[in-house]
């Protein structure tokens, strides 16, 4: 029996690579993103190459109750979701006093509310069946405050905390929850967040979306609770626990600020 994975934000970056990996294993897919045309191109490619079934849904997941709409559609089409991968998300770069509230509200809706609602809806079905896997894409941003990206860092802290908590709650019910925490990745995220000039990414050789997706997919299959991609990222994410918070936030700002 083929496992079906629902992947949000599947039109590019890590989400697209996750879709390719799952299809290469013979798994069926439900792909969700705003750009349905790109999803349909990917559907044609994956179905032809791997002989799997791919169902696409064009949806702006920053809209209220969008997760319920997607859930209703999968139910109406009798599609059982075995793996839920909440990958969709975006950030914004700039001082909070200057940034745009409407964009931040969309970010909170997508990164937190929609992710939580998707998880709520599908985890109940998984628990009833006694099987299922969920991967919520957080970030190394989850481990400390992030001046110049304050709201984004805070949303990812939520994703990490939420995922660890519910993972514990369902640990005896045949369901696993993985929080994937990549660092800066070559994915188009930086351009969308207008942060190409920050010290974090300018002039740096970043890991590819494919590398991160392969690591995350393997971590999800093994049921790993927190999966931090890259040895240096692992070290930095854990080292902040031993430093004064005032120092951590100062260092985070220095790393995030635009390079001169």
The set of catalytic residues is: 152, 156
Radius of gyration over every alpha carbon of the chain, rounded to an integer in angstroms: 18
Q: What phi and psi values does residue 110 have, to the nearest 5 degrees? A: -75, -55
Q: Which residue has the tokens 């997706």?
A: 213
Q: In what order do the strands lie in the sheet with 226-228?
A: 54-58, 28-33, 4-8, 83-86, 132-137, 175-181, 226-228
Nearest C-alpha neighbor of 93 from the set 185, 187, 196: 196
Structure tokens at 239: 């080292």
Count of residues making up the chain:
260
Residue 133, classed as helix, strand or coil, is strand
| Beta-carbon contacts of residue 52 (< 8 Å; ≥ 6 apart) | 2, 23, 26, 27, 28, 29, 46
Q: Which residue has the tokens 């260092």?
A: 251
Q: Is the dihedral of CA 200, 203, 204, 208 positive or negative?
A: positive
In whole angstroms, what is the distance from residue 145 CA to residue 131 CA?
Answer: 35
């Amino acid at each position: 029996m083929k496992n079906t994975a629902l992947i949000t934000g599947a039109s590019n970056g890590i989400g697209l690579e996750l879709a390719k990996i799952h299809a290469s294993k013979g798994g069926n897919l439900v792909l969700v993103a705003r750009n349905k045309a790109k999803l349909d191109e990917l559907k044609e490619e994956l179905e032809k190459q791997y002989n799997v079934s791919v169902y696409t849904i064009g949806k702006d997941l920053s809209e209220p109750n969008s997760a319920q709409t997607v859930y209703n559609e999968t139910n109406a089409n009798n599609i059982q979701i075995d793996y839920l991968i909440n990958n969709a998300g975006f950030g914004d770069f700039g001082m909070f006093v200057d940034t745009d509230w409407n964009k931040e509200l969309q970010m909170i809706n997508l990164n937190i509310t929609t992710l939580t609602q998707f998880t709520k809806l599908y985890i109940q079905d998984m628990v009833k069946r006694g099987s299922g896997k969920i991967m919520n894409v957080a970030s190394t941003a989850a481990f400390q405050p992030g001046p110049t990206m304050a709201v984004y860092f805070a949303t990812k802290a939520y994703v990490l905390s939420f995922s660890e908590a519910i993972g514990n709650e369902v640990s005896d019910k045949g369901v696993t929850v993985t929080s994937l925490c990549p660092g800066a990745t070559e994915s188009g995220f930086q351009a969308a967040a207008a942060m190409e000039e920050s010290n974090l990414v300018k002039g740096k050789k970043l890991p590819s979306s494919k590398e991160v997706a392969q690591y995350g997919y393997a971590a999800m299959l093994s049921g790993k609770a927190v999966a931090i991609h890259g040895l240096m990222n692992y070290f930095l994410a854990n080292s902040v626990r031993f430093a004064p918070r005032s120092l951590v936030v100062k260092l985070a700002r220095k790393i995030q600020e635009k390079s001169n």
